[in-house]
Structure 1
């Protein structure tokens, strides 16, 4: 297991990961808190843990930006074909799409009940394989399905590619889309999106260590063989043993390992699609 780390880097990583340092937030997060709570606010990590701050900040920003996001998505939808559920049923098979020159893609689907103007926003790595399932029993939103099947409401569906938007990943696009169409409060969505899929490190030193490690290992053969989170966690624990000579302390290191695991998974996913 060769990470090409210098001795100074190894000593620094060992110092960071062996110290029981306090959890902190970034300067940007502190500025946001003071904007909400007042300029004299003093951060207390016990009463307001960093991960909770990040969750609430993300939620706040999505709501604050919802009109901008709605305009962006509406403009994109206006240039794209709008599907009916029946058309999506016909296109659920790859052969049917190939015959029409349609390629599947990673993005979100925006489902609108044209009778009630209620929305559902979802994400998929292959939108044609997923969107139609909401109109099949026990495969998506139950309320949406009942409005379609029992009440006979009409629906329109827009499929928006991630690469056409200003967002960098599906979770951000979906979460902002849910806020933009108010589909959690007044629509079919039961959750506000995936807030905590992003890594949320204890402090900036922990994050810097993780970024350095990812940069050094991402081109190795062993890295490319990590196919699931169990492999990734085992890989990280071996790093502690073989490179740092540190015993893996569950209480001290579990959060770091979970977040580095997320970083590795997301990097591999993004890199996979770039190559394809």
Structure 2
């Protein structure tokens, strides 16, 4: 699968000194200005924390700071765009019907608004028409773990609220259509969830904050390049296609690295497993 030259390159990157993973000068200045200056945090204590953990905290703070301008930007787009009813969205989940109407699928986020209860759900997909309607036709009780949490913590469900007659409107936002620049659909989704207070802690439908904690964070750009190269090499193999859960993806990555005598760093294995999951979800949505 990998040539000797490719193995040596991957090994050199994975064993390279972790100095590249240290916080940058810009990140340190932001910590001083915002976390210390505005929030009164202890600078010395912060910089002793693992860099990836600090970056997650930085991102969380930025989400909160930006939620107002993101909400305004998305609201402006939603006012200009058609809002779909669940019935319309379910119908447009059929590709033949979309084709007959000249409607193309696209990559982006969708904002589901329960206007009866005034609560939101923000999701993402590389093919929004294939994904968004599922919330209105899929019974969450079929997912045992999710349903257990729903009952125990009395969490809202789109499907249940739709069945009891709540009114919904759905806005589909193409990636790249916002006036604000976002580096990825994940980033747009995270900001949308924050902007609309869509997570369950605010009474919304989202169970997570859009992978703020679980997003893949490689130690440096070289690790990212290695991960993208490896993914391209393995994505058509049968063993790759058989991966079904995150533990299996991590075990697969560990065994793959071991097979070629490469360093088994969990700082690489965990985000690479997340990358595999994202690829599989995107590939499934495109079929």
Larger radius of gyration: 1
CA contact (8 A) 2:14 2:223 kept: no
Q: What are the residue-to-residue correspondences of 1:229-248 with 2, within 5 Å?
A: 230=249, 235-238=256-259, 241=261, 248=263
Aligned to 2:54: 53
TM-score of the two chains, using structure 1 as the length reference? 0.72
Unaligned regions of 5+ residues in structure 1, if any?
none
CA contact (8 A) 1:133 1:139 kept: no
Would you say 1:199 and 2:211 are equivalent positions?
Answer: no
Structure 1 distance, partners of 2:114, 2:87, is 14
CA contact (8 A) 1:82 1:157 kept: yes
Q: Please state how far the C-alpha of 1:102 moved relative to its aligned partner.
A: 1.1
Unaligned regions of 5+ residues in structure 2, if any?
142-154, 244-248
Q: Specify which structure has the higher proportion of helix.
A: 2
CA contact (8 A) 2:198 2:206 kept: yes
Aligned to 2:169: 156
Q: Please state how far the C-alpha of 1:176 moved relative to its aligned partner.
A: 0.3
Task: Identify if the C-alpha distance between structure 1 residues 119 and 268 changes in structure 2 by more than 3 Å, giving closer, same or farther.
Answer: closer
Aligned to 1:109: 110
Q: Please state how far the C-alpha of 1:49 moved relative to its aligned partner.
A: 3.1
Q: What are the residue-to-residue correspondences of 1:1-276 with 2, within 5 Å?
A: 1-2=2-3, 13=13, 16=16, 24-34=22-32, 35-38=34-37, 41-43=43-45, 48-139=49-140, 142-150=156-164, 152-165=165-178, 166-184=181-199, 185-201=202-218, 206-211=219-224, 213=226, 217=229, 222=233, 225=236, 227=240, 230=249, 235-238=256-259, 241=261, 248-249=263-264, 253-260=265-272, 262=274
TM-score of the two chains, using structure 2 as the length reference? 0.70
Aligned residues: 254
CA contact (8 A) 1:23 1:45 kept: no
